[in-house]
Amino acid sequence: MTASPQVVRVPRQVPRWRDLAPFLRPRPFHWRAADRRLARCLSVDDLERAARRRVPTAVWDYVDGGSDGEHAMRRNREAFDRVELRPTAFGQVAEPEVRTSILGRPAAAPIVLAPTGYTRLSHHTGERAVAAAAAAAGLPYTLSTYATTSITDVAAAAPQGRNWFQVYLMKDRSVTLDHLAEAASQGYEALMLTIDTTVTGMKRKDKLNGFAIPPQLSLRTFAGMARHPGWVANILTTEPLRFATFPEGSHHGRWGMSNELREQAIRPADIGWLKEHWDGPVVVKGVLSVADAVTCVEAGADALVLSNHGGRQLDRAPVPLELLPAVVDAVGSRTEVFIDSGVRSGGDIAAALGLGARGVMIGRPYLYGLMVGGRQGVDATLRLLVEELRRAMCLLGTPDIAAIGPEHVRLRST
């Protein structure tokens, strides 16, 4: 016969408070609603879900949507989802160094805040809050030509920041020269020429919501705004929404005039023209082929951004992450190469670095943070991404940014 297993008995005792206390420690209570919202956000995905509840549907669709069938936007994320990070088993480090250099100057992390138009739609503090958060984090911030805060006011909000100015060339070059003069007078560090927006991509959701050219707001749009009275009150009681880098009343600053007035035949010589009129680096954004990357470098570009505009311009455009290794092979020894479009985590940043990028640019992630908590939300977003990158580097076994190489990254076929 098989003996019955013996029952293991453990001595019991009456619980004492000092034994229970470590398990009953309550989480700190946050008095501010924004603090409570942000405390629940442990990833950019969490920020996205929280942000969607903070703004009218029309605003959300403007920020979060892509062009046409949104194929490029989906493919951007699918590429990062295919990333496999490969650790060095015996190289783990406790305190990896995430600092790097960008355009020859120190940066606290390999992150640049991308230009976004109409930022004050996301939160009434807009570009001021984003620039101040970037400055506090030690990261460059890029102000859009179609910003809702002026070049001068952003500089005042982040006087110690690394402020860059994104250029949409105008057919009337005197308008662009005025932008360059104001940016130079306010201490802006670099220009970023965007070359992928000869016309504005079709966002079907914007069209349905009335964010068309010219705007045609529907009852649905007004109803969506009515469900967000705080957002409406903040917009109505602060400075009017407009393209603030243009003089008030200028036809260049009117919504609906951008396609007509913006240069629609950008040439390599325009890079040289900018360098003639700007005493500083010129970054070219919107590069989507090896040939164009080589052309930009030969024309004098100091850095490139591989970008399909976050899937907001040419639908079905190449995916920057997939293009990155070939471009780095072609021009990486001569210039700094960055990517944007789809970056949402520290793991994504590590993948881009491993495939040869100097750094990444982010847009939607910081706008989510802005929607959730204003300046504090942008602070939280940047802190989250840096913490994720640092943790990924710990587990990869890479002591610093330079140590992340192609041996640490593989793009799976499916």
What is the rounded distance in angstroms from the CA atom of residue 64 to the CA atom of residue 136? 26
pLDDT for the residue 215: 54
Assess if residue 19 is contained within a domain: no
pLDDT for the residue 127: 98
pLDDT for the residue 248: 84
H or E, element range at 179: helix 173-185
> 179: how many CB neighbours lie within 10 A of its CB?
22
pLDDT for the residue 213: 46
Give the Å distances, CA to CA, from 142 to 67, 132, 267: 22, 12, 22
**Which pair of tokens denotes residue 10?**
């453990």
Annotated binding residue 144: yes
Annotated binding residue 205: no
CATH code where residue 108 lies: 3.20.20.70
Annotated binding residue 116: yes
Assess if residue 382 is contained within a domain: yes
**Range of 340's domain?**
35-411
Q: b or e along 350-360 (b: 16 or more beta carbons within 10 Å of the residue's beta carbon)?
A: bbbbbbbbbbb
Compute mean pLDDT per 10 residues along the chain, 414 residues long, and list them.
77 80 75 88 97 93 94 97 93 89 97 96 96 98 96 97 96 96 98 93 83 61 82 91 87 70 92 97 98 98 97 96 98 97 97 98 98 97 98 95 96 87
Given a contact cutoff of 8 angstroms between Cβ atoms, the answer to whether 244 and 155 are in contact is no
Annotated binding residue 369: no
What is the rounded distance in angstroms from the CA atom of residue 183 to the CA atom of residue 168? 14
| DSSP conformational letter for 280 | S
Annotated binding residue 275: no
At 287, give phi and psi (nearest 5°). -75, 135
Annotated binding residue 372: no
**Which pair of tokens denotes residue 354?**
């491993």
Counting Cα atoms < 13 Å in the Cβ hemisphere of 143 gives 36
Assess if residue 12 is contained within a domain: no
3-state DSSP percent of the chain in helix, strand and coil, to 5: 45, 15, 40
H or E, element range at 71: helix 71-81
Annotated binding residue 412: no
Cβ-based burial of 288 (10 A; exposed 0-12, middle 13-18, buried ≥19) = buried
The residue assigned the tokens 């992150």 is: 111
Please, which residues bridge with residue 337 across strands? Answer: 304
Q: Is 309 a catalytic residue?
A: yes
**Domains held by the chain: number:** 1
Catalytic residue chosen out of the listed positions 123, 124, 252, 309: 309
What is the rounded distance in angstroms from the CA atom of residue 332 to the CA atom of residue 198? 27
Assess if residue 352 is contained within a domain: yes
Assess if residue 114 is contained within a domain: yes
Annotated binding residue 36: no
Assess if residue 181 is contained within a domain: yes
Give the Å distances, CA to CA, from 202 to 64, 211, 212, 291: 14, 11, 9, 26
Assess if residue 11 is contained within a domain: no
Assess if residue 17 is contained within a domain: no
For residue 411, give the 3-state DSSP assignment. Answer: strand
What is the rounded distance in angstroms from the CA atom of residue 144 to the CA atom of residue 158? 15
